[in-house]
Amino acid sequence: MKIINKIAEMQQYSTLQRCEGKKIAVVPTMGFLHEGHLSLIDCARKEADIVIVTNFVNPTQFAPHEDLDTYPRNFEEDCKLCKERGTDIVFAPEADDMYCADRTTWVIEEKLSKHLCGLSRPVFFRGICTVVTKLFNITLPDIAVFGQKDAQQALIITRMVRDLNFPIEIIVAPLVREKDGLAMSSRNRYLNEGERHRGLVISRSLFRAEKMLVQNGIGRLGEVLSMIVDNISEAGGKIDYVEALDAATLEEPDENVKTLLLACAADFGKARLIDNVLVKIGE
Ligand code: PAF
């Protein structure tokens, strides 16, 4: 496995691989890898000849008051894990190389980004769309793998790739949970023991809601959402949102909805926890 830091070297490497007819998959990450990320690498490994994992804590997706400076990092351990899972290249650029000080260009998705995380984090998806576009232009992949854990991100990237005609297939790999149900996330590192235990209320409430919706349809959606809100609040979580939206459009669901995205975000201590389940309606 090779580590590449320079943008031009990364582009040259990928261009050469493409000329040799190799299929490239990229797994964009911000490092501090856990089993969720590694499952994305496994997925990429199955689909392509060359697997590139990008490791870059992207400053433009953090607002000034957010956790850019304290975001957990462990580059050495990340590289070890990448190697074990058969990664060919770790691309880890410097922020100053990625972003010119006088940059004036952004990539903005204007609809899906206005819901869920986008409401409380207004620059978040602009930063993500911009950096992912840059990473695509640098790593030149045929395939890119994202996780369902960040359901809204996956939907926005898929839309961006369609709208801007990137010749890239987006694969969305399943969300990976700890044994007790907690969705894996680098930010789980911020949780103390009590918060981690109380944070389990999120996945438990989502699973309970899923059962209720599968049994009863969306007729009593309000009650289901209130149940989740009450449970999380009682456990001391500070809720950002609890929503059930049409999974294809992120609009309010109507009677024709096929799949609901039941999603929530709540702070437990310093950790912002997000989680979601997809619920097939009327099956
Ligand atoms: O999901 C993430 O870790 C980040 O949002 C991404 C896609 C690597 C962009 O910085």
User: 197: domain CATH number?
Assistant: 3.30.1300.10
**Which of 173, 195, 218 delimits the end of a domain?**
173
Kindly state whether residues 138 and 224 are assigned to the same domain: no
Kindly state whether residues 54 and 142 are assigned to the same domain: yes
* pLDDT number for residue 217: 86
Residue at token pair 């990008």: 54
Domain-located, residue 131: yes
* Ligand 1 mutation pick, 131, 172, 176, max ligand atoms within 8 A of CB: 131
Alpha carbon of 28 to ligand 1 centroid (Å): 6
Kindly state whether residues 162 and 63 are assigned to the same domain: yes
33 within ligand 1 shell (Cβ under 6 A): no
Q: 60: closest CA among 108, 116, 25?
A: 108
Domain-located, residue 178: no
Kindly state whether residues 228 and 147 are assigned to the same domain: no
pLDDT tens per residue, the chain (283 residues)?
999 999 999 999 999 999 999 999 999 999 999 999 999 999 999 999 999 999 999 999 999 999 999 999 999 999 999 999 999 999 999 999 999 999 999 999 999 999 999 999 999 999 999 999 999 999 999 999 999 999 999 999 999 999 999 999 999 999 999 999 999 999 999 999 999 999 999 999 999 999 999 998 899 999 999 999 999 999 999 999 999 999 999 999 998 999 999 999 999 999 999 999 999 997 6
**Which of 147, 173, 199 delimits the end of a domain?**
173
DSSP state of 252: P
**Which of 138, 173, 208 delimits the end of a domain?**
173
> Which ligand 1 atom is nearest residue 57's CA?
10
For residue 246, what are the contacts with CB-CB under 8 A and spacing of at least 6? 252, 253, 254, 257, 259, 260, 261
- Say which CATH number the domain at 55 has: 3.40.50.620
* pLDDT number for residue 113: 98
For residue 114, what are the contacts with CB-CB under 8 A and spacing of at least 6? none
DSSP labels, 151-210: HHHHHHHHHHHHHTT-S-EEEEEPP-B-TTSPBP-GGGGG--HHHHHHHHHHHHHHHHHH
Domain-located, residue 208: yes
Paired with 157 in beta bridges are: none
Our count of domains for the chain comes to 2
pTM of the model: 0.97
Kindly state whether residues 147 and 236 are assigned to the same domain: no
Kindly state whether residues 38 and 154 are assigned to the same domain: yes
Closest CA to ligand 1's atom 8:
29
58 within ligand 1 shell (Cβ under 6 A): yes
Kindly state whether residues 226 and 123 are assigned to the same domain: no
> Which ligand 1 atom is nearest residue 58's CA?
10
Domain-located, residue 282: no
Closest CA to ligand 1's atom 1:
29
* pLDDT number for residue 282: 73
Kindly state whether residues 169 and 254 are assigned to the same domain: no
Domain-located, residue 240: yes
Kindly state whether residues 94 and 234 are assigned to the same domain: no
Inter-residue contact 59 to 134 (CB < 8 Å): no
* Structural domain of 161: 2-173
Domain-located, residue 149: yes
* pLDDT number for residue 175: 98
Kindly state whether residues 33 and 75 are assigned to the same domain: yes
Q: Phi, psi at residue 219, to the nearest 5°?
A: -55, -40
Kindly state whether residues 36 and 144 are assigned to the same domain: yes
29 within ligand 1 shell (Cβ under 6 A): yes
